[in-house]
């Protein structure tokens, strides 16, 4: 019988509880590596109700309407840059048709102002389902694009406008009026209906203001004197936003000794005559600094030490150049022009350059349709300078003839009119045929206008020569320099001449009589310097504010003025005609006309 035994081998025993623990830990680790199950899908959003859609649409439209209204406000305040930015934020697609039409109108006006008339016309053509006011303004803008801002403004002046539409219409009308030359307002303010006259008078009185505070005072006086005018009841927005501040201390840097002393005093007296027209409470302080007392640096330093925040002057060109090189830290309105030097940022230039006269005369020739121009020039540096300026405007004369001295006037005019050549051809024909031939000299038919660049003495000899050589039916033009120091006999001789002149000789230029009486300026060679002094004050506010490149012109004694982007004051002179020995505003000239209507030169 066998016996069963159990043998145990050391180190080989298995403990099952430990194995179970390890297996459990592994299972847990594996389970931890697995992704958690995704959450259940959310409940679907209920579709938007009609009320919710309408609320969203209303909110978008309100936002677009607000930005459109802001763009219109900025443009009414003459801030085209701000208006463009605000319009770019306007989503016109969410606006109702009348709102989209307003946005298109605003875009068209901005396109016109930035020199893109084609895009403006395109936007206007797309205006549909507009309200009555937008349709009226679009019509005025179309007329402006086809003709000029004055024509567009007239359209709005005569339109029947309800009270609710007046703010928009008056803002638009005034923006067009501000683009018109104030010389036109001077001619138009006594024409048309009382409503039209009132608008032109408002434009004229603001254009002639001396400072921003003076402009605001003039507007108040106009409202008081025109209580029933539509603009008095709803004033254009920009006229109610006039700033009252300006330069508080103006330093005049002018010569009080030396060869230019008389010129410096004339400018000073003209400035002070205009300054005395201001409300005493609104007059800036004025100090005078003699540019002959030391170098220009020390004179400017004295002005700064006195507290000046604006400088007017100097008068001498070399002083202007020296001051420009100093890079002045306060605004300067120099009373002469730099030749080639780039102006410093704070330097502005205002001079009586003859080129301004020729630019005005050349524009007059172009407006009259005169393309073939004959030039008769005296032996003066300024005459040659004006002829070159005429050519720089693009006007190419068909002939230019120098009158070297008075005794050669008749022969020179005969050569210019080709009379001598005609007589020579007649003599040659008689020689060839052996027969006496009738000969009747006549004026050249290839000349639309004659430009005479001569002084007052030469013009008295030139007029009979023009008549003798059959040129009395060709329109004749002359610059203001021809009439400098002109007496009554010269004006009588120049009957029918068309002349560009300083506007201060025009009827309606307020303040001129006081200027003449206060300082006995007369009409001699210093008169233009008195006018320059007065207009220096007129432009001081714009210079102090840095208002370069604005659309609106100022009407001064030296011209219709604008401060250009380059800091130079540009002048447009008045168009005058000599009638019965007196200067009168010109009423129009037939294009290239040689007729007997009375508009051509009549010696």
Domain segments of the chain as ranges: 249-349+509-559, 355-502+573-585
Orientation of helix 456-468 relative to helix 409-416, angle to 10°: 50
Q: Which residue has the higher pLDDT, 599 or 371?
A: 371
Element holding 64 (H helix, E strand): helix 50-76
> Does residue 73 have a pLDDT over 50?
yes
- CATH number for the 355-502+573-585 domain, one of 3.20.20.140, 2.120.10.30, 3.40.50.2300, 3.40.50.970? 3.40.50.2300
State the Cα–Cα distance between residues 387 and 385, nearest whole angstrom.
5
What the block records as the tokens of 167 is 């703010």
C-alpha–C-alpha distance, residues 50 and 410, integer Å: 92
What pLDDT sits at residue 487?
79
Instruction: Kindly report, residue by residue over 412-444, the tens digit of the pLDDT.
Output: 888 888 766 556 654 555 555 666 655 556 667
pLDDT digits (tens, 9 = 90+) for 374-415: 999 999 999 999 999 999 888 888 889 999 988 888 888 888
Identify whether the C-beta of residue 514 lies closer than 8 Å to the C-beta of residue 275.
no
Res 141 pLDDT > 90: yes
Q: Which residues neighbour 244 within 8 Å (Cβ) at sequence distance 6 or greater? A: 212, 213, 216, 282
Number of neighbours of residue 12 by Cβ within 10 angstroms: 6
pLDDT digits (tens, 9 = 90+) for 295-328: 999 999 999 999 999 999 999 999 999 999 999 9
DSSP state, residue 41: P
Helices (DSSP H) in 131-245: which residue ranges?
Answer: 132-146, 149-157, 166-179, 182-188, 194-207, 212-225, 230-233
pLDDT-above-90 percentage for the chain: 55
Eight-state DSSP code of residue 35: P
Look over the chain and give the mean of its residue pLDDT values, rounded to a whole number: 84
Per-residue confidence (pLDDT) for residue 423, from 0 to 100: 60
Summarised one tens digit per residue, pLDDT across range 154-185 is 999 999 888 889 999 999 999 999 999 999 99
Residue with the larger pLDDT of the pair 51 and 479: 479
Confidence of residue 536 (pLDDT cuts 50, 70, 90): very high
Work out the percent of the chain whose per-residue pLDDT is above 70. 81
Residue with tokens 């090189």: 325
Dist CA 213 CA 329 (whole Å): 25
Residues 6+ apart with CB under 8 A from 1: none
For the ranges 110-119, 223-232, 434-443, which has the lowest average pLDDT?
434-443
> Could you check whether 249-349+509-559 and 355-502+573-585 share the same CATH topology?
yes
Is residue 562 within 8 Å of residue 553, measured between CB atoms? yes
In 3D, which of 234, 165, 251 has the Cα closest to residue 199? Answer: 234
| Radius of gyration from C-alpha coordinates of the chain | 39
Stated pTM of the model: 0.81
Q: State yes or no: pLDDT of 258 exceeds 70.
A: yes
Architecture of domain 249-349+509-559: 3-Layer(aba) Sandwich (3.40)
Degrees to nearest 5, angle at CA 211 with 185 and 75:
65
Question: 11 or 570: which carries more pLDDT confidence?
Answer: 570
Which residues are CB-neighbours of 66 under 8 A, at least 6 positions away? Answer: none
Predicted confidence (pLDDT) per residue in 511-535, tens digit? 655 665 555 555 566 888 999 999 9
């Amino acid at each position: 019988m066998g016996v069963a035994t159990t043998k145990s081998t050391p180190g080989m025993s298995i403990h099952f509880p430990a194995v179970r623990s390890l297996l459990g830990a592994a299972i847990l680790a594996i389970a931890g590596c697995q992704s958690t199950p995704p959450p259940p899908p959310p409940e679907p959003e209920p579709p938007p109700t009609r009320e919710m859609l309408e609320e969203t649409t209303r909110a978008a439209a309100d936002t677009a309407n607000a930005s459109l209204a802001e763009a219109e406000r900025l443009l009414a305040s003459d801030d085209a840059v701000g208006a463009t930015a605000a319009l770019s934020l306007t989503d016109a697609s969410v606006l109702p048709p009348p709102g989209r039409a307003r946005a298109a109108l605003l875009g068209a006006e901005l396109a016109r102002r930035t020199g893109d008339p084609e895009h403006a016309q395109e936007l206007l053509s797309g205006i549909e389902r507009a309200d009555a006011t937008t349709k009226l303004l679009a019509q005025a803008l179309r007329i402006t694009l086809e003709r000029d801002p004055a024509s567009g403004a007239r359209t709005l002046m005569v339109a029947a406008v309800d009270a609710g539409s007046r703010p928009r219409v008056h803002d638009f009308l005034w923006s067009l009026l501000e683009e018109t030359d104030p010389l036109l307002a001077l001619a138009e303010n006594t024409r048309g209906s009382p409503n039209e006259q009132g608008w032109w008078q408002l434009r004229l009185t603001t254009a002639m203001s001396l400072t921003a505070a003076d402009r605001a005072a003039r507007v108040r006086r106009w409202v008081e004197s025109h209580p029933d005018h539509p603009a008095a009841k709803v004033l254009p927005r920009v006229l109610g936003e006039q700033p009252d501040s300006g330069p508080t201390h103006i330093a005049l840097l002018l010569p009080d000794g030396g060869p230019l002393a008389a010129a410096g005093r004339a400018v000073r007296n003209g400035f002070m005559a205009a300054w005395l027209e201001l409300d005493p409470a609104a007059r800036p302080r004025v100090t005078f600094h003699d540019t002959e007392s030391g170098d220009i640096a020390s004179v400017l330093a004295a002005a700064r030490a006195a507290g000046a925040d604006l400088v007017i002057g100097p008068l001498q060109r070399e002083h202007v150049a020296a001051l420009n090189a100093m890079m002045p830290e306060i605004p300067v309105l120099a009373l002469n022009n730099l030749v080639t030097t780039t102006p410093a940022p704070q330097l502005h230039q205002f001079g009586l350059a003859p080129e301004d006269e020729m630019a005005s005369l050349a524009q007059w020739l172009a407006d009259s349709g005169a393309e073939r121009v004959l030039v008769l020039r005296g032996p003066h540096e300024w005459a040659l300078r004006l002829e070159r300026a005429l050519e720089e405007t693009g006007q190419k004369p068909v002939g230019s003839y120098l009158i070297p001295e008075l005794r050669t006037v008749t022969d020179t005019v005969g050569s210019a009119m080709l009379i001598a050549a005609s007589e020579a051809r007649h003599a040659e024909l008689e020689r060839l045929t052996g027969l006496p031939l009738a000969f009747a000299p006549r004026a050249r038919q290839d000349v639309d206008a004659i430009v005479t660049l001569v002084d007052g003495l030469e013009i008295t000899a030139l007029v009979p020569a023009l008549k003798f050589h059959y040129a009395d039916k060709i329109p004749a033009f002359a610059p203001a320099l021809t009439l400098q120091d002109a007496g009554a006999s010269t004006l009588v001789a120049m009957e029918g001449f068309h002349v560009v002149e300083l506007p201060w000789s025009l009827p309606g230029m307020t303040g001129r009589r006081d200027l003449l009486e206060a300082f006995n300026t007369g009409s001699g060679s210093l008169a233009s310097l008195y006018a320059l002094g007065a207009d220096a004050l007129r432009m001081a506010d714009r210079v102090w504010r840095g208002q370069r490149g604005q659309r609106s012109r100022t009407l001064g004694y030296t011209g219709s003025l604008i401060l250009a982007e380059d800091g130079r004051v540009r002048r447009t002179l008045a168009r005058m005609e000599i009638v019965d020995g007196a200067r009168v505003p010109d009423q129009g000239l037939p294009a290239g006309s040689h007729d007997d209507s009375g508009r051509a030169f009549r010696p």
